[in-house]
Structure 1
Amino acid sequence: MEAVVGLLLMLLGVSHGVETYCDGRQDGAQCYGALGGTVVLQLMDNASEISKYQWSINTTTTTTTILSWRNNTIVINAIANRSFFTPSDGTFRINNLSWTDGGEYTLQIFGSDGQVSERRTLQLTIQVGYLPIMAGVLSALVILLVVGVAVICAQKKKQNNKPKEEEDHELTYADVRMVQQPVRQMQKKAETEVEVEYGQIKFPERPQQTVEPA
């Protein structure tokens, strides 16, 4: 029980800072983030080698620029207070995710002529953070339950086998005693018969003699 409680506390503590990673370098990538958690999006390999690009979120009515890069400088970062961009590996980290962060994002990379040379989209879905954690907790509980049942069954099986072996020994001893008892009776009976026969031989009755009168 203490192990289960400790595991639950550990998992609940980790759930406070859930962090997910998604590779958005392929067009149409599906990414997921936990509400209130952190998501790390891999937008490109090396952003410092690209002169200009723009990353925007698309809604049904508008397109809002989230990140804009030009000549090795961040021009726009609409969520700078809770995000961090690393140009060397092209990752964009968003902390404290909210429902409004979910949606379709479009990355546009511009060439030296100012024209769009590449366009990629990714879908970011925000989920309730405790659902993955609860799934992990339930999985851990199932594993602990299976292990506990296996241990209990093994102990019961061991206890059931032990009296059975002792009972078999008692039955064996009983059979031996039952077999030995008639043998002793037969020996005693034989000795008695021998003694009787021996007494008859040793002490025969003498015939009576008739004494004639003088």
Structure 2
Amino acid sequence: MEAVIGLLVMILGVSHGVETYCDGRQDGAQCYGALGGTVVLQLMDNASEISKYQWSINTTTILIWRNNTFVINAIANRSFFTPSDGTFRINNLSWTDGGEYTLQIFGSDGQVSERRTLQLTIQVGYLPIMAGVLSALVILLVVGVAVICAQKKKQNNKPKEEEDHELTYADVRMVQQPVRQMQKKAETEVEVEYGQIKFPERPQQTVEPA
């Protein structure tokens, strides 16, 4: 049981430690990330050469980068951006991180010079493993409870069997006692009969005079 729990903890830890990489420099890129894990998205080659860009998911703006600094970073607590290589890292992925992302790059004139999208899908591949471990844990718990109940039931039945044996022995002894009494009674009657047989023979003896 402890081994199963340890395996479950290990799987959860591995799930949270999974890191995937995706090249989002191509329009329409398909990216994947593990639930609870980390994804590294390659958005551009070098962000320091771009005066402004904006990144959003569906209709919600996540990032606005302008003059080598963030104007907006809605997920600053679990993300990290590296301007030198244009990679954006998102940690502790959740269901809400999945969706279509749109990157707009602006030129020096303030107009959109490039626009591309990427689709981020959150994978749930670790859930079947976790479900299997949980099922094994439940089975072990059920078996353990059944074994404990069986042992308790066996212990409860032992005193009853001993009492039954004692009662049986007592019955046997009580049956044997009348038999012995009858044997003693029979012997007494025989001795009395022998006494009665010997008693009448005594008067027949004659005594000669001296």
The TM-score range, normalised by the shorter chain, is: 0.5 to 0.7
Q: 1:41 to 1:165 in 2, by over 3 A?
A: farther
Question: CA separation in 1, counterparts of 2:12 and 2:199?
Answer: 105
Matched residues, number: 210
Deviations 1:31-64 (A, max 9, x none): 0111111111110010011001000111xxxx11
> Compared with structure 1, are the counterparts of its residues 82 and 155 closer, same or farther at alpha carbon in structure 2 (3 Å cutoff)?
same
Distance 1:204 1:164 in 2: 63
TM-superposition CA deviations, 1:174-198 (whole Å, max 9, x none):
9999999999999999999999999
Q: How does 1:5-154 map to 2 (within 5 A)?
A: 13-58=13-58, 63-128=59-124, 130=126
Distance 1:183 1:103 in 2: 98
TM-score (norm 2): 0.56
Aligned residues of 1:46 and 1:87 also touching (Cα < 8 A): yes
**Structure 1 moving runs of 4+ over 2 Å:** 1-16, 131-214
Q: Which runs of 5+ in 2 are unaligned?
A: none
Alignment partners' CA distance in 1, 2:73 and 2:16: 25
* 8-17 or 140-149, larger mean C-alpha shift: 140-149
Distance 1:162 1:202, change over 3 A: same
- Compute the displacement of 1:158 (Å): 48
Q: Residue 210 of structure 1 aligns with which residue?
A: 206
> CA–CA distance in 1 between the matches of 2:3 and 2:16?
21
Quick one: structure 1 residues 211 and 37, their matched pair in 2 at CA, closer, same or farther if it must change by over 3 Å? closer
Please give the per-residue CA displacement for 1:3-28, whole angstroms capped at 9, x wherever unaligned.
99999987664333111110000000
RMSD of the alignment, in Å? 9.7
Secondary structure at 1:124's aligned position in 2? Answer: strand
